[in-house]
Amino acid sequence: MRDLTVPEQKEIWDRRNANESFRDLAPDPRVLHYIGDLPQQSRRALDLGCGNGRHLLQLAEIGWRCTGIDWSTEALVQTRQALSGFEQTTSVLNGDFRRTTFSGNYFHLILAIDVIHHGKRRDLERAIAEIKRIKAISGDVLVSLPGMRNAPAEHQADWIEEQTVVLRNGLEVGIPHHFIKEEDIGKLFRTFRKISAERVVLPMPPGVEPLHSMHENEWYWIRLSG
Ligand SMILES: C[S@@+](CC[C@H](N)C(=O)[O-])C[C@H]1O[C@@H](n2cnc3c(N)ncnc32)[C@H](O)[C@@H]1O
């Protein structure tokens, strides 16, 4: 399968995000736990690829000034709806996680949950460099990335480079997915002073079509600072 153009990818994301299993997705318990541990003093948060706004809402409710970006119009509509009532303290923008227009050293918290692996290795590296650039020096980051055990079987996808596939079927058909190995983490995030990563194997989400995992629903949850 050929690489899709950006407009084609956005169309697929719009359709996928409108699917009710994603539209109604509740916040991830790991993100809730992470937010619960944050310092009381709330400041500026960014959710890269904010989807239905499920995580930004949690932050807005405890007083953070929230920004969400996504390149799917459907996601922007859903996030704006989720954040209605918090218009004074939130902004929801169309944007690409590989290059944003935010000033450097700006956000005290950046979330990138199930997002920045949607591309080739180079796209993931660009997203990480962008996170590093716009994160406040004292800021924190939470990223989730799928592990190689989450990659599909040969017959389900086309491998377009090492560790990157384009799915042949399902709601994310045509979207590139990059899967990481544990040993990639230190290299990918080498510009951060503090990296802590946890490997998690989750049950397949009920009611959600297994999008790519043929082996295990393996994820790395990575906390960064500095
Ligand atoms: C799997 S969803 C995760 C959404 C959200 N982070 C969550 O946890 O519910 C991935 C989201 O990233 C968005 N996305 C994919 N590639 C993007 C890009 N290059 N720039 C901005 N958003 C992108 C999609 O539109 C989609 O809403």
pLDDT tens by residue, 150-161: 888 777 889 999
Give the residue, by CA position, lying nearest to ligand 1 atom 18.
96
Distance CA 224, CA 162 (A): 25
Closest atom of ligand 1 to 52 CA is 9
Give the residue, by CA position, lying nearest to ligand 1 atom 27.
51
Instruction: List, in order, residues 6 or more apart from 47 with CB less than 8 Å away.
Output: 53, 55, 56, 59, 66, 67, 68, 69, 110, 111, 112, 113
DSSP state of 203: P
Distance CA 200, CA 149 (A): 11
217 SS3 class: strand
Per DSSP (E only), the strands in the chain are 44-48, 65-70, 90-94, 107-113, 135-146, 157-161, 164-167, 176-178, 194-202, 217-225
Pocket test for ligand 1, best of 115, 167, 175, 212 (most atoms within 8 A of CB): 115
What single-letter amino acid sits at 132? Answer: K
Q: What is the pLDDT of residue 183?
A: 98
- pLDDT beyond 80 at 208: no
17 Cα to the center of ligand 1, angstroms? 9
Closest atom of ligand 1 to 75 CA is 27
- Could you tell me if 215 and 151 are in contact, meaning their C-beta atoms sit under 8 angstroms apart? yes
143 Cα to the center of ligand 1, angstroms? 12
Q: What is the pLDDT of residue 152?
A: 84
Architecture of domain 6-225: 3-Layer(aba) Sandwich (3.40)
Ligand 1 and 72: CB distance under 6 A = yes
**pLDDT confidence bin for 211, thresholds 50/70/90:** low
Kindly report whether the global pTM for this prediction surpasses the value 0.85. Answer: yes
pLDDT digits (tens, 9 = 90+) for 74-126: 999 999 999 999 999 999 999 999 999 999 999 999 999 999 999 999 999 99
Q: What is the pLDDT of residue 61?
A: 94
Nearest Cα residue to 120 out of 42, 9, 22: 9
Domains of the chain by residue range: 6-225
Distance CA 167, CA 173 (A): 5
